[in-house]
């Protein structure tokens, strides 16, 4: 899909184009100026739109990711205090769960390998469930392997939504006799509903006893249950934040480890920084975290190349909109968008655009973040790097995600000093199996020439992931 988009942009010599599939207007953009406009000064002229909501209603329902205007504002207002700096800096929460992963790795067969993507999915869901529900789903204990069904349902329902997106207005025809999301929904609800029902029950009992909930001391779910007793609304809101928290941070951690495995020099440098600043037994604090500048550059560079959310979509409302002049890639004039028209923005290509990032845009080079020229470019135009989006609807969990990922990586690199892909188990990219598959190298400006060197099969549903998991061998550090 990214190949096709990159080729279209290249062919049209434009960073925003109207695909007009079957006479229906549908815009796609990799333009940093247009994406910035939609997120910020043009925010009120766009929304998720009805078509988009219908496609995702089965999964996201009335949650924060799937609502606009007053309903969205209320969700955001309720959720915001739970992402305040002091709450998301509870490093003990991240520590407890990170330690479980490290223990699993320390006790694993030293000659074998583990699917780290699966471990990270468990880490992030356990941490997020503790943060959101006050109850750890404890999937890292592997005692309840029903979790695989939960993960699969989560992934399959996202893949279904992506398929609906590709089919555009025609998707309901293919699901005329059966809503394909039903089975997945049932599995997901089986995991979340008991927690929601219990929270409602506790809230009821507290009310009967005349007790009130202190927002500073309760969990997100407990607080939510004071705002509504509707199980559907509560579940939707939790699932939205769980999706936002789990898959994205899993994607970030999996790709960092993949890149460590293929760039041992970067791993060595990141490890040296940690040992120098924190030591091999030391504890991460809010203060020493700020000193980990190279690790932060690794996280940035990973999110630039493998941005966890590769695309997003908005619709114009009842009036048409004129998008401003495009960015310098092709420097096109302002462009008109008709009313009620979707626009898909592809950060994945924008963050690999050679016109913005230089001819080595597709190379993994954390050191670029120390280049004064790039620093100046990003600070004068932050829109070229927006893995967490920007404007009124930016990511609420940015600091949570960065704290969780940093703490985990510190603990990991204190204990391990080598990572390698287990080629026997790693699913190779499909184009590696068949030399006749076009590797997309004809796209000079953006996007897909990494295919030549990739050793994983990059895929995405709503969030990116690695097809078949990430099978890694690791070596305990000697010091
Ligand atoms: C590396 C990790 C993460 C990345 C890259 C990321 C990225 C994003 C992006 C791009 C959006 C905007 C989506 C759009 O406009 O279509 C978003 C929204 C959101 N994110 Fe994150 N996210 C991450 C982790 C998290 C975590 C850990 C949480 C919560 C614990 C979270 C909570 C949210 C919420 C609630 C929204 C919706 C905001 C709104 O609509 O007002 N995210 N995230």
343 in contact with ligand 1, CB cutoff 6 A: no
**Atom in ligand 1 nearest the alpha carbon of residue 65:** 40
Q: Provide the CB-side half-sphere exposure for 419 (13 A, CA).
A: 28
Out of 170-179, 252-261, 470-479, the most confident range is 252-261
The whole-number pLDDT of residue 456 equals: 95
State which of 46, 397, 401 you would mutate to test the pocket of ligand 1, scoring each by most atoms of that ligand within 8 A of its C-beta. 397
Whether the Cβ atoms of residue 99 and residue 284 lie closer than 8 Å to each other: no
Give the pTM.
Answer: 0.93
**Atom in ligand 1 nearest the alpha carbon of residue 246:** 27
Question: Rounded mean pLDDT of the chain?
Answer: 89
Tokens representing 431? 């184009």
Of the pLDDT bands very low, low, confident and very high (cuts 50, 70, 90), residue 435 is low
**Whether the predicted pLDDT of 440 surpasses 60:** no
pLDDT in tens, 450-461: 888 899 999 888
Sign, CA dihedral 306-307-308-313, equals negative
Residue 58: name the closest of 147, 158, 168 by CA. 158
pLDDT in tens, 282-311: 999 989 999 999 999 999 999 999 999 999
249 in contact with ligand 1, CB cutoff 6 A: yes
Residue 28: name the closest of 16, 38, 37, 36 by CA. 16
CA of 396 to the centre of ligand 1 (A): 6
Helix (H), strand (E), coil (C) string for 273-328: HHHHHCCCCCCCCHHHHHHCHHHHHHHHHHHHHCCCCCEEEEEECCCCEEECCCCC
The whole-number pLDDT of residue 448 equals: 56
pLDDT in tens, 110-168: 899 999 999 999 999 999 989 988 888 888 886 656 677 887 888 888 888 878 877 77
**335, β-bridge pairs:** 323
Q: Whose CA is nearest to atom 32 of ligand 1?
A: 397
pLDDT in tens, 60-85: 888 999 999 999 999 999 999 888 88
Domains, the chain: 2-192+235-476 (1.10.630.10)
Name the more confident of 226 and 269.
269
Whether the Cβ atoms of residue 234 and residue 225 lie closer than 8 Å to each other: yes
Cα separations in angstroms, 327 against 44, 345, 387: 21, 14, 18
Work out the percent of the chain whose per-residue pLDDT is above 70.
Answer: 95
Q: Whose CA is nearest to atom 11 of ligand 1?
A: 395
397 in contact with ligand 1, CB cutoff 6 A: yes
The whole-number pLDDT of residue 308 equals: 97
Pairwise CA distance, residues 349 & 140, whole Å: 34
The whole-number pLDDT of residue 444 equals: 42
Residue 34: name the closest of 22, 46, 49 by CA. 46
Name the more confident of 168 and 340.
340
Name the more confident of 336 and 23.
336
């Amino acid at each position: 899909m990214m190949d096709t988009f990159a080729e279209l942009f290249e062919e049209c010599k434009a960073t925003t184009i109207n695909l007009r599939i079957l006479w229906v207007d549908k815009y796609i953009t990799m333009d940093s100026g247009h994406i910035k406009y939609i997120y910020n000064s043009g925010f009120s002229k766009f929304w998720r739109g009805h078509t988009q909501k219908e496609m995702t209603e089965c999964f996201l329902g009335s949650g924060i990711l799937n609502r606009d205007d007053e309903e969205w504002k209320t969700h955001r207002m309720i959720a915001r205090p739970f992402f305040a700096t002091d709450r998301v800096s509870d490093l003990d929460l991240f520590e407890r769960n990170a330690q479980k992963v490290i223990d699993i790795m320390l006790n694993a067969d030293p000659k074998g390998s583990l699917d780290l993507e699966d471990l990270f999915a468990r880490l992030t869901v356990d941490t997020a469930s503790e943060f959101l529900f006050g109850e750890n789903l404890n999937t890292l204990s592997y005692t309840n392997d029903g979790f695989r069904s939960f993960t699969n349902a989560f992934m399959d329902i996202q893949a279904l939504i992506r398929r609906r997106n590709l089919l555009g207005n025609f998707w309901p025809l293919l699901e005329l006799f059966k809503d394909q999301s039903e089975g997945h929904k049932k599995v997901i609800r089986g995991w979340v509903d008991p927690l929601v029902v219990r929270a409602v029950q506790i809230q009821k009992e507290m009310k009967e006893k005349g007790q009130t909930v202190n927002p500073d001391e309760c969990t997100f779910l407990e607080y939510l249950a004071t705002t509504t007793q509707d199980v559907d609304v509560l579940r939707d809101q939790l699932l939205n934040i769980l999706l936002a928290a789990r898959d994205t941070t899993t994607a970030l951690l999996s790709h960092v480890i993949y890149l460590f495995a293929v760039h041992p020099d970067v791993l060595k440098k990141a490890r040296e920084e940690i040992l120098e600043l924190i030591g091999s037994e030391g504890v991460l604090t809010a203060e020493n975290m700020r000193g980990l500048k190279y690790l932060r550059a690794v996280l940035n560079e990973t999110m630039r190349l493998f941005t966890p959310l590769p695309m997003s979509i908005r619709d114009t409302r009842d009036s048409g909109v004129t998008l401003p002049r495009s960015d310098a890639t092709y420097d096109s004039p302002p462009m008109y968008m008709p009313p009620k028209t979707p626009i898909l923005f592809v950060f994945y290509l924008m963050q690999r655009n050679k016109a913005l990032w230089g001819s080595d845009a597709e190379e993994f080079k954390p050191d670029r973040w120390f280049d004064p020229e790039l620093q100046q470019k990003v600070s004068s135009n932050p829109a070229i790097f927006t893995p967490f989006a920007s404007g009124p609807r930016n990511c609420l969990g940015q600091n949570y995600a960065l704290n969780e990922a940093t703490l985990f990586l510190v603990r990991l690199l204190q204990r391990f000093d080598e990572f390698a892909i287990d080629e026997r188990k790693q699913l190779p990219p499909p184009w590696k199996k068949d030399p006749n598959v076009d590797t997309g190298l004809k796209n000079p400006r953006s996007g897909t020439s990494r295919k030549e060197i990739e050793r994983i099969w990059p895929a995405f549903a709503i969030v990116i992931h690695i097809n078949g998991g990430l099978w890694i061998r690791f070596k305990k550090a000697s010091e």
